[in-house]
Amino acid sequence: MSIPREPKPAKLVISIFMQDKHHLQKAVRSLSESFGSVDMVSPWLPFDQTDYYTAEMGTPLFRRFISFDGLIQQDALADIKCFTNGLEGQFSKEGKRLVNIDPGYMVAERFVLATGKNYTHRIYLRARIYADLSLIYRKGRFRPLDWTYPDYVGEAIIRLLHSIRDRYMFQVRQSGDQVSELD
């Protein structure tokens, strides 16, 4: 019989992309008002994905990742996605988003994104939101899965996520929790 245990808190990580970089400061301010102080904002990264967003958002698109100092409960992901969906609505013009905000969380063994789209590998959370297991941490690094978004497989993003994971592991240890390095 398995004995249920409280899950470890998670590191909130948000990917935000847009065509007009001037929207970033206002978006980050809104996010930090809701989720606390920001502990990392990545450099601008090119957004290498299909033309899925081109009609709505234009091109080229630029991305930054943001992580927050405070840790969250893993089951808060659905509420966070609902909030960021509302925030995207505030950053829209004539029904088109100017900013795309994709929240997820990181724990020692995985990186999970939130989505409103169902698919075979996604697990329903609540409020029409699904959890997408995007990367697993194994043998000292994040590893993609068959369904991992292609832009999350790139070495620059993997390196960035490793640095966020290092910060997360430090925070968990500072709180006195025991966490495995997961060889």
3-state secondary structure of 162: helix
* Span 161-170, pLDDT tens digits: 999 999 999 9
Q: What mean pLDDT, rounded, does the chain reach?
A: 93
Domains in the chain, please, with CATH? 10-173 (3.30.70)
**pLDDT given for residue 80 in this prediction:** 98
Residue 178 scores a pLDDT above 90:
no
pLDDT > 70: percent of the chain: 95
Q: How confident is the model at residue 67 (pLDDT cuts 50, 70, 90)?
A: very high
* Span 98-123, pLDDT tens digits: 999 999 999 999 999 999 999 999 99
Query: Region 39-52: what's the mean pLDDT?
Result: 84
- Crossing angle of helices 77-90 and 24-35, rounded to 10°: 150
Burial of 3 (0-12, 13-18, 19+ CB in 10 A): exposed
Segment 42-46 long-range contacts (CB within 8 Å, at least 24 positions apart): 42/66, 42/160, 45/156, 45/157, 45/160
Q: How confident is the model at residue 77 (pLDDT cuts 50, 70, 90)?
A: very high
Residue 8 scores a pLDDT above 60:
yes
Rounded CA-CA distance 34/66 in Å is: 13
**pLDDT given for residue 183 in this prediction:** 39
Q: How confident is the model at residue 176 (pLDDT cuts 50, 70, 90)?
A: confident
pLDDT > 90: percent of the chain: 86
In sequence order, the 6+-apart residues with CB closer than 8 A to the CB of 173 are 179
